[in-house]
Amino acid sequence: MARILVVDDDQGMREFLEIMLTREGYKVNAASGGKEALSFCRKKKFDLVITDLKMPKIDGIDLLKAIKEISPETMVILITGYASGETAVAAMKEGAFDYLEKNFDVEDLKSTVKDALSKKGVKEEDAIFMKGVEEAVSFGNMVGKSKGMLKVYSLVKKVADTSANVLILGESGTGKELVSRAIHENSPRKDKPFVVINCGGIPENLLESEFFGYMKGSFSGAHTDKQGLFEVAHGGTIFLDEIGELYPFLQVKLLRVVQEKTFRRLGGAEDIKVDVRIISATNQDLKEKVKNGEFREDLHFRLNVIPIKIPPLRDRKEDIPLLTNYFIEKYSREFGKEIKKISPYALQLLMKYPFPGNVRELENIIERSVTLETGNIILPETLVISEEDKEDSESATHIDFDEGGINLNEEMKRIEKLFIEKALKKANNSKTKAARYLNVSYDSLLYRLEKLDIK
DSSP 3-state of 417: helix
Cβ neighbourhood burial of 13 (10 Å; 0-12, 13-18, 19+): middle
pLDDT at 402: 55
Whether the full predicted model's pTM is greater than 0.75, yes or no, is no
For residue 58, what is the DSSP state? S
pLDDT in tens, 219-241: 777 788 889 899 999 999 999 99
pLDDT in tens, 289-310: 999 999 999 999 999 999 999 9
For residue 25, what is the DSSP state? T
Residue predicted with more confidence, 252 or 419 = 252
pLDDT at 203: 81
What whole-number distance in Å separates Cα of residue 14 and Cα of residue 7? Answer: 7
What whole-number distance in Å separates Cα of residue 312 and Cα of residue 315? Answer: 6
Mean pLDDT of 14-24: 92
What whole-number distance in Å separates Cα of residue 303 and Cα of residue 383? Answer: 41
- Is the predicted pLDDT of residue 326 greater than 70, yes or no? yes
Maximum average pLDDT range among 114-123, 144-153, 405-414: 144-153
- Paired residues of 197 in beta bridges: 240
pLDDT at 130: 39
What whole-number distance in Å separates Cα of residue 243 and Cα of residue 211? Answer: 13
- Is the predicted pLDDT of residue 288 greater than 60, yes or no? yes
Answer for the pair 96, 64: CB distance below 8 angstroms, yes or no: yes
Answer for the pair 211, 197: CB distance below 8 angstroms, yes or no: yes
- Containing 62, the helix (H) or strand (E) segment is helix 60-70
Please provide the average confidence, as pLDDT, over all residues in the chain: 84
What whole-number distance in Å separates Cα of residue 241 and Cα of residue 438? Answer: 13
pLDDT band of residue 22 (cuts 50, 70, 90) is very high
Q: What is the DSSP string of 297-316?
A: HHHHHHH-SEEEEPPPGGG-
| Other residues' Cβ atoms within 10 Å of the Cβ of residue 118 | 19
pLDDT in tens, 419-452: 888 888 877 788 888 887 787 777 778 878 888 8
Percentage of the residues of the chain whose pLDDT score is greater than 70:
89
Reported for 126-130, long-range contacts at CB under 8 A and 24+ positions apart, including other chains, are: 129/154, 129/155, 130/154
Domains and CATH numbers, the chain: 3-127 (3.40.50.2300), 141-311 (3.40.50.300), 315-385 (1.10.8.60), 399-451 (1.10.10)
Q: Would you say the C-alpha torsion 304, 305, 309, 310 has a positive or negative sign?
A: negative
DSSP 3-state of 376: coil
Mean pLDDT of 242-265: 91
From residue 162, give the alpha-carbon distance in Å to each of 28, 49, 158, 159, 237.
Answer: 21, 19, 8, 5, 12
Reported for 182-185, long-range contacts at CB under 8 A and 24+ positions apart, including other chains, are: 182/139, 182/140, 182/141, 182/142, 182/156, 183/156, 183/159, 183/237, 183/279, 184/160, 184/236, 184/237, 184/239, 184/277, 184/279, 185/140
pLDDT in tens, 171-200: 999 999 999 999 999 999 999 999 999 988
Q: Would you say the C-alpha torsion 357, 358, 362, 364 has a positive or negative sign?
A: negative
pLDDT in tens, 385-427: 755 544 444 444 455 555 566 677 777 777 788 888 888 887 7
pLDDT at 255: 92
Answer for the pair 273, 230: CB distance below 8 angstroms, yes or no: no
